[in-house]
Structure 1
Amino acid sequence: MRVPAVPRWRDLDQVRRADVYLRSSLYLLLWGVPLLIVASGARSDAALGTPGTAGVALLVVVLTCVAGTATLREVIALHPRPGPLPRRSLAALAATLVLGVVVARLLDPAAGSVLVVVVGIVVSMAAGGLTDRRAVAGLLVLLGAATLVVSGSWPLVVVVLAYALFLAFTVRSSLWLYGVITELDRTRRAQAALAVAEERLRFSRDVHDVMGRRLSTIAVQAELASTLARRGDERAVDQMLEVRAGAHEALREARELARGYRSTDLAVELEGARSLLASAGIACHLAATGVPERWREPAAWVVREAVTNVLRHSQAREVRIGWDGSALTVADDGGTVAAPADGSGLRGLRERVEPLGARLEAGPTGDGFAVTMRVGVA
């Protein structure tokens, strides 16, 4: 069986590095400080009495560290969620605390006090990160009672509880910082996914606008060529050549859209609208000069969408495109059968112009349908 390779530090992402750093630091402190105190006591015969008693105390400390490690691991996994509490590991931790009190009572008072302090360090670090304040308060009360039973000294109880609160605050602060890091990473990933979604939406809108217009043009020209061919008119050949040219132009624009290079020019859209409407036998009256540079591209979007809707949904014979200094209007006389005001194309167009500070209005008029973009009002 092949053992999976341990990932190298440089191969880990930032969140994984923070996770490894947090766990290794807390586990090192949880094991290192108590064992260092016990080891120093065993060498000096001062902290925990004789080497024999220090050995018993060391066993209690090791058991407490094992229970504390299990509790701390579950606390890290839960954070920052409020529950459920790791009841089994907390019960094991409380049991080791009680065991520490029993052993400490068998030692001399000084050694017993040191043992309770060491066990209290482990308990404080292991359970200090719990979000349930009642559980933390219960453990602190139990720790204070254990210290009082062993030492009988209220000042030592205050010192132990103060140190326990400091360790609990340290653990909670570390977990809070880790939570901030993970949340920032989730936000970054969400922003990346949103950027992809926005790009897909932009592409779908451009495809709808550009290809819809081109295909409408090809459809109108093909219908005209078919009519001329049935009459035996030689102009049918010219119309079919225009259909071919339109197809090549649609292919070119599709490639530009895929590469993201295509820009929208108002003058080109106006001329294209005039030519397209003329091919369909619809008169076009243009009065859209003086559009500010800032609004020329959004105005081109409106012209493209509105003219496409006229060809698809209207029986118009005349279209007027005008700019009055604050609004661009594309109006036709095709009755009330134009595209609905909440159609997908107009809805997408509205979503594009409103963030720029414009408002899109679309609906029937007295004898037709009008699409208006009012600037500086959104």
Structure 2
Amino acid sequence: MTGWWKNRSSAGKVELYTRGSFHLFVLLEITSFGLMPVAATAPSRPPVLLPLTLLFMVCGHAVLCGVLTHKALHWVVGRRERPTRTAVAVVVTTAACTLAVLTLRATGHISEAAVTPTLVAGLIWFASGSLVLCLRSVKRMLFIPAAAAVATGLAALALGTPAATALGYCVGILLGSLFFGATCGFSAWLLRTVYELDHSREVQARLAVAEERLRFGRDLHDVMGRNLAVIALKSELAIQLARRERPEAVEQMIEVQRIAQESQREVRDVVRGYREADLSVELEGARGVLSAAGMDCRVDFPAGRRATELPPEVQSALGWVVREATTNILRHGDAHRCLIRLTAGEGGSVTLVVENDGAPEAPAGPPGSGLAGLRERLAALDGTLQAGLVGDGRFRLLAQIPDRRLQELEVRA
């Protein structure tokens, strides 16, 4: 049961809560207004048939409104088309039920006058709330309570109801329908907004990844563009000199070879800079990406050496840990806060902790090779990696490199 709730995204939790609230409206309508005809039946009439008929009528109306609400919420979040046919069915059913109750009151089958307005109002209130979910324009939403109030008042007058009572129908239905419509309309707007924010976070994460790819492509273009142009020109010159049997062609080809070797070295430097980025750069990049995705990311440097003072091998390994942890946070779970803490004290081991909330209890898919690759990188430095849930939906990634290995790397440097 805990995982069933925690594994949902924030938008999924809001949708589940909203649906549960609207489904309770079905039970509320049945219990509040479905049993009312039992007390409203005149003693001279059959005591069982009429109350049961009215009870079944209210139950059918409540279930139909619940079906419309279910379909309308799917339309709100963009999973299906607007349920127009079901909305028309609710309008027709509500009108038929209202006329039936007013007719029974006019013919004397319902003895208590106070019950009739309440029963009629209840049917129209719940129907108005369901119909509002099928609309986006506030002006059209306001049209539903007004139309329902006027139609009910005219129907009551046509069946011989006094003008004061018919006016009371209009006022009660108008006020109640406005309340139900405002409540349902706000719930639909809130659900739609939450899903739009969730989609925006996904777009921001994808844009951050795309920006990093563009940066790498830009760096590679800056390195290779000029060199390739020079190689092309010198190669063409060497061809022309070779056709003329000039000895300078050999010198030009030697120059081409030198530039090609230099380009190869520069490309390796670019790739090495991407694959073995400076730990400080990775930490700031993680802060920027997670913040852009709407998370509260805090990077903590306690007292001790800075990340730039660590050996290059350690920076490379821990930089990969930060990068993989950032990727996992963006892909899995529904994190709102993230803490990245680097502890690198003088003469002590280096510890990197990445902890975030909103982690699912069970993995969303098959286990990947990211953590296994990190363990292999850290194992080359005698380091260890621990990953798992630590309670309250928090996931912790702990990487540690011992002091002995740090000293060996520093002496070698």
SS of the residue aligned with 1:17?
Answer: helix
**Which residue of 97, 104, 109 maps to 1:99?**
97
Which residue does the alignment assign to 2:120?
116
Which residue does the alignment assign to 1:37?
32
Q: Determine if contact 1:121/1:164 at 8 Å carries over to the other structure.
A: yes
Paired letter, 1:259: R
**Counterpart-to-counterpart distance in 2, 1:88 and 1:233:** 83
Which fold has the larger relative contact order, with Cα–Cα distance below 8 Å and residues 6 or more apart in sequence?
Answer: 2
> Which consecutive unaligned segments of at least 5 residues does structure 2 have?
279-413
Say if 2:261 is the partner of 1:245: yes
Tell me how far 1:214 sits from its aligned partner.
Answer: 3.0
Say if 2:148 is the partner of 1:139: yes
CA RMSD of the aligned region, Å? 3.9
Tell me how far 1:118 sits from its aligned partner.
Answer: 2.5
Paired letter, 2:207: L
Paired letter, 1:173: F
Which runs of structure 2 are paired with 1:81-100 in the superposition (5 Å)? 86-100=84-98
> Which consecutive unaligned segments of at least 5 residues does structure 1 have?
1-6, 263-378
Which residue does the alignment assign to 2:53?
56
**Counterpart-to-counterpart distance in 1, 2:72 and 2:205:** 30
Paired letter, 2:196: E
- Cα deviations across residues 24-45 of structure 1 (Å, max 9, x unaligned)? 211212x122222246648xx6
Tell me how far 1:96 sits from its aligned partner.
Answer: 3.7
Q: Determine if contact 1:113/1:147 at 8 Å carries over to the other structure.
A: no
Which residue does the alignment assign to 1:277?
none
**Which residue of 2, 11, 16 maps to 1:20?**
16
Paired letter, 1:142: A
Tell me how far 1:232 sits from its aligned partner.
Answer: 7.8
Tell me how far 1:72 sits from its aligned partner.
Answer: 2.3
SS of the residue aligned with 1:107?
Answer: coil
Question: Which is greater in Rg?
Answer: 1
Q: Determine if contact 1:38/1:54 at 8 Å carries over to the other structure.
A: no
Tell me how far 1:239 sits from its aligned partner.
Answer: 4.1
**Counterpart-to-counterpart distance in 2, 1:60 and 1:167:** 21
Say if 2:176 is the partner of 1:181: no
Q: Determine if contact 1:112/1:150 at 8 Å carries over to the other structure.
A: no
**Counterpart-to-counterpart distance in 2, 1:67 and 1:207:** 62
Comparing 252-261 with 217-226, which one deviates more in the overlay? 217-226
Which residue does the alignment assign to 1:284?
none
SS of the residue aligned with 1:76?
Answer: helix
Comparing 230-239 with 181-190, which one deviates more in the overlay? 230-239
- Cα deviations across residues 122-180 of structure 1 (Å, max 9, x unaligned)? 21222133343445543343344456659641334312321111011100111111121
Cα distance change on mapping 1:79 and 1:64 into 2, 3 Å: same
Q: Determine if contact 1:124/1:168 at 8 Å carries over to the other structure.
A: yes
**Counterpart-to-counterpart distance in 2, 1:80 and 1:243:** 57
Tell me the percent identity. Answer: 27
**Which residue of 211, 214, 231 maps to 2:227?**
214
Paired letter, 1:121: W
**Which residue of 191, 196, 199 maps to 2:212?**
199
Q: Determine if contact 2:149/2:170 at 8 Å carries over to the other structure.
A: no
Which residue does the alignment assign to 2:345?
none
Q: Determine if contact 1:61/1:118 at 8 Å carries over to the other structure.
A: no
Q: Determine if contact 1:117/1:160 at 8 Å carries over to the other structure.
A: yes
Tell me how far 1:194 sits from its aligned partner.
Answer: 2.8
Paired letter, 1:191: Q
Q: Determine if contact 1:120/1:160 at 8 Å carries over to the other structure.
A: yes
Cα distance change on mapping 1:166 and 1:224 into 2, 3 Å: same
**Counterpart-to-counterpart distance in 2, 1:191 and 1:69:** 36
Cα distance change on mapping 1:125 and 1:207 into 2, 3 Å: same
Q: Determine if contact 2:30/2:62 at 8 Å carries over to the other structure.
A: no
SS of the residue aligned with 1:8?
Answer: helix
Paired letter, 1:114: T
**Which residue of 43, 65, 72 maps to 1:68?**
65
Paired letter, 2:56: L
- Cα deviations across residues 43-92 of structure 1 (Å, max 9, x unaligned)? xx6467787354332211111112212332343344499x9671453234
